[in-house]
């Protein structure tokens, strides 16, 4: 990833995925008795988003490379505070912290004792929209259902979101929403290079309150700081 011109491009792609997911996490809606169509699922998704102040929980993440196949699996804790703030605490196999606050970014690699400061690359209008605005989802994405609870979704709706306008960073997001609350169970991002980032979420807690200081990072003594905001 490139934060302030200092990180690997692959890490930058992951950070774009993080931004997308912080929007994708903040989702749920009304109870349903019958199967819904895509606009109804999006409406439920939007309803919970509008009522969400913060979100926290556990995540598992795996990268599947379009060229190399299955890659690294990671896990940790996620914190989201709307609008536009998120923190990923990676705990296994390597410890690192990734924070986005507005357009500013922090990436701390514990093993290397390095902290990379930067700003999100503005390679599309969609990225800034995802972290800074509360525009309706139907203005941000083209949406369609690819599975329902009783037809391929294993009890959940699978909603595919394509960015409007098209993004240079990623092609689509697929999220699994389980009725009646439409809580997000898993998500998948396909980037422009054909790589897939797979996420599974658990123990999500909504609107429990998060301290402002959680979205700042003070590096330990001896840390090498690269880049700036």
220 by Cβ neighbours in 10 Å (0-12 / 13-18 / 19+) ranks as exposed
* pLDDT value for 103: 78
Sheet containing strand 85-92, strands side by side: 141-147, 157-163, 170-178, 183-191, 196-206, 54-65, 69-81, 85-92, 96-101, 104-109, 114-119, 224-226
Count of other CB atoms within 10 angstroms of residue 114: 17
Could you report the average pLDDT of every consecutive run of 10 residues in the chain (229 residues)? 42 54 45 75 83 90 74 91 89 94 90 92 46 71 93 92 83 88 85 87 93 92 93
* pLDDT value for 108: 97
* pLDDT value for 68: 60
**Cα dist. 172→17, 24, 113 in Å?**
10, 12, 34
Q: Residue 49 in contact with residue 188, Cβ under 8 Å?
A: no
Pairing of strands 157-163, 196-206: unpaired
DSSP class of residue 212 equals G
* pLDDT value for 131: 42
CA distance 60 to 49: 22
Q: Residue 142 in contact with residue 164, Cβ under 8 Å?
A: yes
CA distance 66 to 61: 16
Domains of the chain: 9-202 (2.50.20.10)
What 3-state class would DSSP assign to 178? strand
* pLDDT value for 137: 84
Degrees, nearest 5: CA angle 51-13-117: 85
* pLDDT value for 183: 78
């Amino acid at each position: 990833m490139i934060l302030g011109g200092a990180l690997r491009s692959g890490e930058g792609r992951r950070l774009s995925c993080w931004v997308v997911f912080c929007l994708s996490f903040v989702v749920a809606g009304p109870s349903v008795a019958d199967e819904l169509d895509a606009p109804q699922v999006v409406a439920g998704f939007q309803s919970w988003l509008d009522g969400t102040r913060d979100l926290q929980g556990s995540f598992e993440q795996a990268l599947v490379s379009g060229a190399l196949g299955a890659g690294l699996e990671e896990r940790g804790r996620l914190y989201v505070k709307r609008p536009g703030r998120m923190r990923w605490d990676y705990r296994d196999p390597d410890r690192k912290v990734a924070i986005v606050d507005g357009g500013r970014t922090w990436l701390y690699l514990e093993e290397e004792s390095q902290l990379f400061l930067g700003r999100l690359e503005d390679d599309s209008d969609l990225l800034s929209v995802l972290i800074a605005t509360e525009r309706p989802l139907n203005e941000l994405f083209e949406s369609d259902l690819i599975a329902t609870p009783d037809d391929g979704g294993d009890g959940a709706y699978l909603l595919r979101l394509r960015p409007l306008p098209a993004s240079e960073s990623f092609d689509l997001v697929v999220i699994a929403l389980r009725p009646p609350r439409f809580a997000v169970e898993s998500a998948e991002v396909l980037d422009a290079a054909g790589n897939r980032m797979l996420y599974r979420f658990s123990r999500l807690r909504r609107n429990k309150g998060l301290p402002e200081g959680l979205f700042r990072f003070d590096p330990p003594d001896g840390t090498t700081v690269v880049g700036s905001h």
